C-alpha cells in the first residue's frame, strides 16, 4: 500500500493538475485504496472528497456503502450527486434501499433524476421489485420532468411489446411534457431490430471478455453507466465503439448533459473519443464548462505521458474538446485553447477551427504566428479561420486590431483576407516590422 496515503492527500490540492494526476494513479490501484480513503474522507476538503467519490464510483466496494448513504442526506448538492452515482455503481441491495430512501426526501430536480436513473439501471439489471414504483413515477404528472425523463430508462427491462405500449401511452397524451420525447423515441432508430427504442441496455456484469450484445432500450440518463462500462471494457472493438457512440448521440438532452459531467481524463483515449462523438452540437453552458475542464485535465495527462504516440492522441482529444466548445458558441476555456496553439509541434486542425469559430480581433496575433510555422494544409485551415473571423467581427473592428500588429503580420493578414479588410496607410519610412500607422 506504499504511496496510497500520500496520493489520497494530493486529491485535495488546489493544483488541479497534481490532484487529477493522483486520481488517475489511484484508479489503477483498485480496491486497495478503499480502506485508506475511508479513513481520510472526513478530514479532506470538499474538492478532495469529490475526487474520492469519483474513485468510489469507478471502484465499487461494499465497505464504502455507509459513507455514501450518509452523504445522501448531509452532503452539498454536488456531493449528493456524486454519492448517488457511486451507490448506483455499487448496486447492492443495501445501496438500492438507501437510494430509494433518498428519493423520498430529495427535492433538487437534477439529483432526483440521478436517483431515478440509478434505480432504473438496477431494475433493468435484475432488481425486478423496482419496476412498479418507477413506472408509477414515470406516469406521475406531479413529479419533476427531470426525474420522469430518467424513469424512461426502466422500459429497457420490459418486453418490447410492453415498452412500446407504454411509450405510445406517453406519446398520445397531448398536454404531457414528455409526449414529444416519447414520440421521438418511437420514431428513432432505423439501424436495429427494435427501432422504437434508442439507448443501450445494461451490459453483462459477469466480467466476461466477450462483447455483450448491445440491445436497444429507452433513451435517457439511466443508460449512461451501462454504455460507458461497455465502452471501457471493449474500447478496442470498433463495432462496439460505433454502436455505443451512436447510442450516446441519440440520447435526450438531459442524458447528454450528464455525459459531459462524467467525462474522465483517465479513461482510455478510445473511450473518450467515442464519448466526444456523442457531444456534437451541445450548447448547454454546464456541459461546455465540463468540456473545458476535460481539456485542461487532458493537458496535464499529456505532460505525464511518456509515449509520444499516446501523447499525440491526447492532444488530439484536447483539441476536439475545444472545437466542441467553440461549436457551442462559447469562449469558455479560450486561454487553454491559445496555450495549446502556442505549443510546439504539429497543431491539431480542430484547434484552428475552434479559434476561427469564436475568435475576436484580439486573437489575430495567435493565428498569424501559427501560420508561419504550419505546413501548407494547416495554413489553408488558418486562412479559412481568419476569413471567418473577419466576416463575423466586421472590417472596422479587425482593422483597428490590425494597427497593433507588426508590419510583417499586418501584410500577411491583408494578403490572406484579401478583399475583406482594406489596408491602412503605412507611415513613410517606417521600418519593415514597425506597427502600421493610424
Instruction: Identify the DSSP state of 438.
Output: -
Give the N- to C-terminal CA distance of the chain in Å, as an integer.
Answer: 67
Confirm if 417 and 387 have CB atoms less than 8 A apart: yes
- Quickly tell me which residue has 501548407 as its cell: 376
Give pLDDT, residue 187. Answer: 58
C-alpha cell at 35: 480502506
- Digit-by-digit pLDDT tens for the chain (438 residues) are 448 998 899 898 887 667 777 887 888 788 899 999 999 999 999 989 999 998 998 889 999 999 999 999 888 998 998 999 899 888 899 999 999 999 999 999 889 988 998 898 888 777 889 999 999 999 999 999 888 888 887 887 778 788 888 888 888 887 888 887 777 666 543 223 222 233 333 333 333 333 333 333 334 555 677 777 777 777 667 777 777 777 777 777 777 788 888 888 888 888 888 888 888 888 888 889 999 999 998 988 888 888 888 888 888 899 999 999 998 988 888 888 888 888 866 677 788 888 888 888 888 888 888 887 777 767 777 888 888 888 888 888 888 888 888 888 888 888 888 878 766 545 445 554 444 443
Q: Which three cell numbers stand for residue 76?
A: 452539498
How many CB atoms within 10 Å of residue 111? 22
DSSP letter string over 200-264? Answer: EPPPPSS--SSPPP--EE--SGGGHHHHHHHHHHTTT-HHHHHHHHHHHHTS-HHHHHHHHHH--
Altogether, the residues listed in the chain come to a count of 438
What domains, with CATH codes, occur in the chain? Answer: 314-438 (1.25.40)
Judged on CB neighbours under 10 Å (0-12, 13-18, 19+), 101 is: middle
Q: Are 113 and 146 in contact (CB under 8 A)?
A: yes
Amino acid at each position: 500500500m506504499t504511496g496510497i496515503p500520500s496520493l489520497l492527500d494530493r486529491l485535495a490540492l488546489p493544483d488541479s493538475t497534481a490532484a487529477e494526476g493522483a486520481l488517475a494513479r489511484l484508479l489503477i490501484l483498485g480496491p486497495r485504496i478503499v480502506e485508506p480513503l475511508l479513513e481520510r474522507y472526513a478530514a479532506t476538503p470538499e474538492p478532495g472528497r469529490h475526487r474520492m467519490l469519483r474513485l468510489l464510483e469507478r471502484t465499487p466496494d461494499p465497505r464504502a456503502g455507509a459513507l455514501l448513504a450518509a452523504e445522501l442526506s448531509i452532503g452539498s448538492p454536488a456531493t449528493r450527486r456524486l454519492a448517488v452515482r457511486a451507490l448506483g455503481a455499487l448496486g447492492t441491495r443495501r445501496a438500492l434501499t438507501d437510494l430509494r430512501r433518498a428519493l423520498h426526501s430529495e427535492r433538487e430536480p437534477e439529483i432526483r433524476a440521478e436517483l431515478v436513473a440509478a434505480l432504473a439501471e438496477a431494475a433493468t439489471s435484475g432488481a425486478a421489485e423496482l419496476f412498479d414504483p418507477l413506472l408509477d413515477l414515470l406516469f406521475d404528472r406531479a413529479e419533476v420532468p427531470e426525474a420522469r425523463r430518467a424513469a424512461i430508462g426502466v422500459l429497457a427491462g420490459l418486453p418490447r411489446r410492453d415498452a412500446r405500449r407504454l411509450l405510445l401511452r406517453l406519446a398520445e397524451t397531448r398536454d404531457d411534457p414528455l409526449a414529444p420525447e416519447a414520440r421521438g423515441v418511437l420514431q428513432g432508430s432505423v439501424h436495429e431490430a427494435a427501432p422504437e427504442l434508442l439507448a443501450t441496455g445494461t451490459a453483462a456484469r459477469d466480467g466476461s471478455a466477450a462483447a455483450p450484445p448491445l440491445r436497444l432500450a429507452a433513451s435517457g440518463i439511466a443508460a449512461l453507466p451501462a454504455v460507458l462500462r461497455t465502452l471501457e471494457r471493449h474500447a478496442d472493438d470498433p463495432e462496439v465503439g460505433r454502436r455505443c457512440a451512436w447510442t450516446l448521440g441519440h440520447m435526450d438532452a438531459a442524458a447528454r448533459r450528464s455525459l459531459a459531467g462524467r467525462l474522465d481524463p483517465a479513461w482510455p483515449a478510445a473511450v473518450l473519443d467515442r464519448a466526444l462523438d456523442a457531444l456534437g452540437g451541445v450548447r448547454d453552458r454546464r456541459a461546455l464548462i465540463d468540456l473545458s475542464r476535460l481539456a485542461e485535465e487532458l493537458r496535464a495527462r499529456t505532460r505525464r505521458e511518456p509515449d509520444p504516440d499516446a501523447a499525440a492522441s491526447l492532444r488530439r482529444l484536447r483539441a476536439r474538446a475545444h472545437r466542441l466548445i467553440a461549436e457551442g458558441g462559447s469562449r469558455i476555456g479560450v486561454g487553454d485553447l491559445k496555450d495549446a496553439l502556442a505549443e510546439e509541434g504539429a497543431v491539431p486542425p480542430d484547434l484552428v477551427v475552434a479559434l476561427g469559430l469564436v475568435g475576436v480581433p484580439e486573437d489575430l496575433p495567435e493565428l498569424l504566428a501559427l501560420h508561419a510555422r504550419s505546413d501548407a494544409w494547416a495554413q489553408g485551415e488558418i486562412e479559412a479561420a481568419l476569413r471567418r473571423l473577419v466576416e463575423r467581427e466586421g472590417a472596422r473592428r479587425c482593422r483597428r486590431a490590425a494597427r497593433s500588429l507588426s508590419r510583417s503580420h499586418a501584410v500577411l493578414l491583408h494578403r490572406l483576407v484579401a478583399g475583406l479588410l482594406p489596408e491602412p496607410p503605412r507611415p513613410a519610412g517606417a521600418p519593415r516590422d514597425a506597427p502600421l500607422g493610424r
